[in-house]
Amino acid sequence: MGSKAFYLLAVLSFSALALQAAFVAENEGKPGLVMNFYRDTCPQAEEIIREQVKLLYKRHKNTAFSWLRNIFHDCAVESCDASLLLDSTRRMMSEKEMDRSFGLRNFRYLDSIKEAVERECPGVVSCADILVLSARDGIVEIGGPYIALKTGRRDGRRSRAEMLEQYLPDHNESMSVVLERFKSIGINTPGVVALLGSHSVGRTHCVKLVHRLYPEVDPALNPDHVPHMLKKCYDPIPDPKAVQYVRNDRGTPMKLDNNYYRNILDNKGLLIVDHELSADERTRPYVLKMAKSQDYFFKEFSRAITILSENNPLTGTKGEIRRQCSAVNKLH
Ligand code: HEM
Ligand SMILES: *[C@@H]1O[C@H](CO)[C@@H](O)[C@H](O)[C@H]1NC(C)=O
């Protein structure tokens, strides 16, 4: 090899090393999530998930509501690591069985999304990413915005059942507590107002509503809305196993839209937190703005979902890629 060629080669390999070092340095201390994380390892992953979400939505519209609610219940509790999906074992209680998870549903259909992905790329795509991407694609099915989200989350190995109440506000929590909980994960007031717009779809069971109906009707409720609620929740102490519920948005129950904000301004919000959102002076200005502008709602919603989806993920070599979403992998 001539000395000139040798010199060129040395310079080239040195710059490659330098580039690599710079890349590593840049990613140090960052969450390590990237766009299209599975580009090389499972290029079809995002497409398979999208197809499955669409297919399931055609058969069961409410699957999309579940994927949306999942992103809150998994990501807001310390980390987006699919801990929500773990079943109870002899040693740990499942998050799904706690009171804060009341009404969560359709987990077996999430398993079928995972199975479809596993058929194509076994052991590559995490349940945490499937949970987040199914929420993203579900949002589109119900008329919401498309939100480009990063991937590369890995799955945790333990349930956080015992700390759910520390992170997830109750149905009757004060707005101060609600705002504070979200602030601690980087979501500001308009972000909270937008996220609660998720209550524009789906249902609320009577067990979470009877406090506003019995022994006397909450005077904050719109009297026009009360007969319907009483008809659906005729039992002051509902059987928790009975399927007694009220639709969150009677106007457009299947659409993620800003009708929610008009409902709560009209005192037709079902939960106490929904009502507070329109009554509290810190949140009301944003409620008014979102009631007027679906674009503004979607813009803030997309921003808040992105922050939620990036909350403290396990990346790199932390955690694992669960083979089955409802159980941790067996260690050999
Ligand atoms: C202060 C915060 C929140 C509270 C207290 C709260 C509470 C609740 C409650 C009690 C229900 C009714 C469950 C049932 O009876 O089946 C519900 C439903 C729902 N929540 Fe929330 N939620 C909050 C924030 C969120 C956020 C941030 C999202 C999404 C990003 C969300 C998405 C949903 C959806 C989609 C449903 C309907 C589920 C279905 O029909 O299966 N919620 N929520
Ligand atoms: C909120 O509702 C629960 C029942 O779901 C009740 O036990 C609790 O005392 C209520 N909290 C407040 C602050 O009213």
pLDDT, tens digit, 9 for 90 and up, residues 159-171: 999 999 999 999 9
Amino acid identity for residue 156 in this structure: G
Summarize the confidence of residues 276-297 as an average pLDDT: 98
Instruction: Tell whether 57 is covered by a domain.
Output: yes
Whether the per-residue pLDDT at 116 is higher than 90: the answer is: yes
| One domain, residues 159 and 217 | no
Kind and range of the H or E run holding 245: strand 245-247
The answer to whether 70 and 104 have CB atoms below 8 angstroms apart is yes
CATH code of the domain containing 211:
1.10.420.10
Ligand 1, atom 32, lies closest to the CA of 69
pLDDT of 152 reads 98
| One domain, residues 150 and 202 | no
| One domain, residues 108 and 183 | no
pLDDT, tens digit, 9 for 90 and up, residues 72-84: 999 999 999 999 9
End-to-end CA distance of the chain: 50
User: Which ligand lies nearest the alpha carbon of 75?
Assistant: 1
Q: Is 77 annotated as a binding residue?
A: yes
The domain boundary residue, chosen from 111, 145, 166: 166
| One domain, residues 58 and 132 | yes
Q: Is 95 annotated as a binding residue?
A: yes
Closest CA to 204 of 271, 158, 267: 271
194: left (phi over 0), alpha (psi -120 to 50) or beta: alpha
| One domain, residues 75 and 147 | yes
| One domain, residues 232 and 292 | yes
The domain boundary residue, chosen from 116, 149, 166: 166
Summarize the confidence of residues 273-282 as an average pLDDT: 98
Q: Write the CB contacts of 62 (distance below 8 Å, at least 6 apart in sequence).
A: 105, 106, 202
Summarize the confidence of residues 110-119 as an average pLDDT: 98
| One domain, residues 134 and 160 | yes
Q: Does 170 sit in the ligand 2 pocket, CB within 6 Å?
A: yes
| One domain, residues 72 and 180 | no
- Name residues contacting ligand 1 (CB within 6 A): 62, 65-66, 68-69, 71-72, 102-103, 105, 169-171, 173, 178, 195-196, 198-199, 201-205, 208, 271, 273
pLDDT of 71 reads 98
Whether the per-residue pLDDT at 15 is higher than 70: the answer is: no
Structural domains counted in the chain: 2
Residues of the chain with pLDDT > 70: what percent?
91
The answer to whether 92 and 161 have CB atoms below 8 angstroms apart is yes
Q: In ligand 1, which atom is closest to the CA atom of 171? A: 5
pLDDT of 1 reads 45
User: Which ligand lies nearest the alpha carbon of 171?
Assistant: 1
Instruction: Tell whether 1 is covered by a domain.
Output: no
| One domain, residues 151 and 187 | no
Range of the domain at 67: 45-166
Instruction: Tell whether 185 is covered by a domain.
Output: yes
Instruction: Tell whether 71 is covered by a domain.
Output: yes
Q: Does 172 sit in the ligand 2 pocket, CB within 6 Å?
A: yes
Q: Which of 3-7, 24-28, 159-163 has the highest mean pLDDT?
A: 159-163
Return the bridge partners of 31, or none: none
Instruction: Tell whether 149 is covered by a domain.
Output: yes
Q: Which residue has the tokens 């602030």?
A: 183
Instruction: Tell whether 328 is covered by a domain.
Output: no
| Distances from the Cα of 27 to the Cα of 32, 33, 310, 315, angstroms | 6, 9, 15, 11
The domain boundary residue, chosen from 121, 136, 166: 166
| One domain, residues 143 and 262 | no
Structure tokens at 193: 């107002």
pLDDT of 30 reads 53
Instruction: Tell whether 9 is covered by a domain.
Output: no
239 confidence band (pLDDT: 50, 70, 90): confident
| One domain, residues 183 and 291 | yes
Of the candidate ranges 53-67, 95-109, 233-247, 264-278, the one whose mean pLDDT is the lowest: 233-247
Q: Is 170 annotated as a binding residue?
A: no
Closest CA to 290 of 248, 264, 261: 261
Summarize the confidence of residues 148-175 as an average pLDDT: 98
19 confidence band (pLDDT: 50, 70, 90): very low
Structure tokens at 149: 């989200």
CATH code of the domain containing 137:
1.10.520.10
Instruction: Tell whether 39 is covered by a domain.
Output: no
pLDDT, tens digit, 9 for 90 and up, residues 45-75: 999 999 999 999 999 999 999 999 999 999 9
pLDDT, tens digit, 9 for 90 and up, residues 217-238: 999 999 999 999 999 999 999 9
Select from 193, 196, 254 the residue to mutate for testing ligand 1; criterion: most ligand atoms less than 8 Å from CB. Answer: 196
Whether the per-residue pLDDT at 16 is higher than 90: the answer is: no
Report the mean per-residue pLDDT for the chain. 93
Q: Is 31 annotated as a binding residue?
A: no
pLDDT of 332 reads 73
| One domain, residues 134 and 206 | no
